[in-house]
């Protein structure tokens, strides 16, 4: 399933290989977030304290991918008990949401589900982060949130990534006065513009909000002045979020989805994540198709793409919020179903996607976004073996581009993750079906795939915590990172930096990392009928590896981005 890659990637991976740590280790998409996590470990906190500190800090320094107005998923493994818990703090549709709220005269209105107040779903991040801390952490909220508060109050310097993302979403951000004031700067002509690299951005309103949350807990977010500010701002912009929506928001606990790969137990996110089931199905099918993975083999890459094509068809046909949709999960994961899926693949040629699931209406041609990093992930394994895999998001870059007036909370545009019209692609080019149609109180499907891989020697000991942003390519990033380590024998830094490939049924294209395959490999895939699209950027995986033999930990932040991997001596 892997191919040889450019020397550039190998050099980058080696430069980020890091060194072994005897204590805990963390990887996140921003140095300040990783530093906040490490600080918690050094103050006697555990993996949960570290992950939550990183998440709150990312809400300040990385508003282009996450924030208090977003939501996410987390897996928490407790080494002492051997138990792994799942917390779903994904956003939900407001009570006034309707199936066709983004449709006019039978057509989806462009931008309505991604930009502005009507795209806002009920946020869950604050409830999720603080519940994780309460149930699994050791430190007080004031301690864990102190780095985030400091970053908001004292400021942080704008990185190339921030500048690029703000430039990409400039038109959307300029439409909101608070977003323009807080997240942009005025240029020489007095017009809000993307802040220059190195500019120090301060967010005093957000600092005050974080301070209140650290003192009063999640109730300060879901009721009272902060909640009122969010509702008033959304209402003024034509949105439908209400105080009742916020008051009634609840997180959800699930059993982790379990699979295995070449003797390693795997726990990942169940529905409403569509990513976790993709991880389990694809790895199971690849193990069946290829008892021994042949490195650099175009035949293996062909089989991998064909498995993905079929699994993403399952996503369209069956998946949605399990509270609203009956998902045949047991059947989809059964050995018989996996065998049938694998057996349907022609080893000599690609199967046209339309032959697997013809849609009643034509699907507009979709172009994958130039920059898919609109989500973020945190991986932590502490010195005692406790582990967290936490993926969190605002959905698209800077979410809805709406900031609640006076409180500094940037709000999500998560409603676009619903099927705004069955068969019509979302902003990531991803098609979903009726099971993901908009309903009040429903959780939209997500590709987020926080995943834990366990040691062969001990199925209760976490070997790898991994996850990624990247829209629909999140699950394939996780799959390939796992395969790189298990099949390729790579260290964790090499595994996250390796070139990637992705297929998602529609568009009927095999997306290839610019460093994902040699020309001869690409030609062999084209000869089998694959239509290739070369992509320059991919989501940045964040991973921590705990070596079962030495009990040393290694952390890796994808060299594609600006993150940092740290650990304790």
Give Cα separations from 475 to 311, 335, 482 (angstroms): 11, 20, 11
Q: For residue 156, which of 226, 64, 44 has the smallest C-alpha distance?
A: 64
As a whole number of angstroms, the distance between CA 75 and CA 268 comes to 7
As a whole number of angstroms, the distance between CA 353 and CA 312 comes to 10
Q: For residue 412, which of 73, 110, 123 has the smallest C-alpha distance?
A: 123
Establish how many alpha carbons lie within 13 A of residue 404's alpha carbon, considering only the half-sphere containing its beta carbon: 25
The label of the residue with tokens 């998923």 reads 73
DSSP 442: P
Residues near 352 by beta carbon (within 8 Å), at least 6 away in sequence? 508, 529
As a whole number of angstroms, the distance between CA 73 and CA 392 comes to 6
As a whole number of angstroms, the distance between CA 166 and CA 172 comes to 9
DSSP letters spanning 394-427: -SSTTTTSEE-TTT--EEP-GGGGSBSSTT---T
- Cβ atoms 78, 132 nearer than 8 A: no
- Cβ atoms 445, 270 nearer than 8 A: no
Q: For residue 19, which of 491, 352, 335, 484 has the smallest C-alpha distance?
A: 491
Dihedral in degrees, nearest 10, Cα atoms 528, 532, 537, 542:
-20
Buried (b) or exposed (e) across 346-361, using 16+ Cβ within 10 A? eeeebbebeebbeeee
Q: Which residues are catalytic?
A: 375
DSSP letters spanning 152-186: HHH-EEPPHHHHHHHHHTHHHHHTSHHHHHHH-EE
- Cβ atoms 122, 252 nearer than 8 A: no
- Cβ atoms 309, 351 nearer than 8 A: yes
As a whole number of angstroms, the distance between CA 42 and CA 429 comes to 42
As a whole number of angstroms, the distance between CA 548 and CA 545 comes to 9
- Cβ atoms 151, 61 nearer than 8 A: yes
As a whole number of angstroms, the distance between CA 281 and CA 372 comes to 24
Q: For residue 511, which of 470, 481, 562 has the smallest C-alpha distance?
A: 470
Q: Please state the φ and ψ torsions of residue 243, each to the nearest 5 degrees.
A: -60, -35
């Amino acid at each position: 399933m892997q191919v040889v890659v450019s020397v550039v990637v190998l050099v980058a991976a080696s430069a980020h290989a890091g060194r072994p740590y005897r204590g805990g280790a963390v990887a996140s998409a921003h140095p300040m977030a990783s530093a906040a996590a490490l600080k918690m470990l050094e103050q006697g906190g555990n993996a949960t304290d570290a992950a939550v500190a990183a998440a709150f800090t990312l809400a300040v320094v990385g508003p282009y991918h996450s924030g208090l107005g977003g939501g996410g998923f987390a897996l928490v493994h407790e080494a002492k008990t051997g138990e792994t818990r799942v917390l779903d703090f994904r956003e939900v549709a407001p009570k006034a949401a309707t199936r066709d709220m983004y449709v006019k005269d039978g057509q989806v209105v462009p931008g309505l589900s991604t930009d502005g107040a009507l795209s806002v779903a009920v946020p869950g991040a604050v409830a999720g982060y603080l519940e994780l801390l309460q149930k699994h952490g050791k430190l007080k909220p004031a301690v864990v949130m102190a780095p985030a508060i400091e970053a908001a109050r004292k400021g942080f310097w704008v990185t190339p990534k921030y500048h690029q993302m703000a430039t990409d979403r400039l038109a959307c951000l300029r439409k909101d006065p608070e977003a323009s004031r807080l997240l942009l700067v005025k240029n020489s002509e007095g017009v809000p513009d993307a802040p220059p690299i190195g500019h120090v951005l301060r967010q005093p309103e957000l600092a005050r909000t974080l301070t209140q949350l650290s003192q009063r807990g999640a109730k300060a977010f879901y009721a009272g002045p902060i909640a009122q500010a969010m509702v008033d701002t959304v209402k003024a912009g034509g949105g439908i979020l209400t105080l009742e929506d916020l008051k009634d928001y609840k997180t959800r606990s699930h059993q982790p989805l379990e699979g295995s790969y070449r003797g390693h137990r795997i726990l990942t996110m169940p529905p409403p994540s569509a990513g976790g089931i993709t991880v389990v199905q694809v790895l199971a099918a690849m193990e069946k198709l290829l008892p021994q993975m042949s490195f650099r083999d175009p035949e293996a890459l062909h089989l991998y793409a064909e498995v993905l094509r079929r699994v993403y068809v399952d996503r369209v046909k069956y998946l949605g919020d399990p509270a609203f949709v009956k998902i045949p999960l047991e059947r989809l994961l059964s050995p018989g179903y996996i065998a049938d899926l694998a057996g349907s693949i022609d080893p000599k040629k690609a199967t046209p996607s339309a032959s697997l699931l013809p849609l009643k209406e034509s699907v507009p041609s979709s172009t994958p976004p130039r920059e898919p990093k609109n989500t973020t992930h945190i991986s932590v394994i502490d010195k005692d073996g406790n582990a967290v895999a936490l993926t969190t998001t605002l959905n698209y870059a800077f979410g809805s581009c709406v900031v609640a007036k006076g409180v500094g909370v940037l709000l999500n545009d998560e409603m676009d993750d619903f099927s705004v019209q069955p068969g019509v692609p979302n902003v990531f080019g991803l098609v979903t079906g009726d099971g993901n149609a908009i309903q009040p109180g429903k959780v939209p499907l997500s590709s987020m795939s926080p995943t834990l891989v366990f040691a062969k020697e001990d199925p209760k000991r976490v070997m790898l915590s991994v996850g990624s942003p990247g829209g629909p390519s999140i699950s394939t990033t996780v799959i390939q990172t796992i395969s790189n380590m298990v099949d390729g024998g790579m260290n964790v830094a090499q595994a996250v930096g390796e070139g990637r490939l992705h297929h998602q049924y529609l568009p009927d294209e095999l997306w290839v990392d610019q460093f994902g395959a040699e020309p001869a490999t690409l030609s062999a895939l084209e000869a089998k009928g694959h239509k290739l699209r070369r992509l320059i950027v991919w989501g940045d995986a964040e991973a921590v590896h705990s070596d079962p033999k030495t009990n040393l930990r290694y952390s890796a932040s994808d060299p594609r981005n600006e993150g940092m991997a740290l650990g304790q001596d």
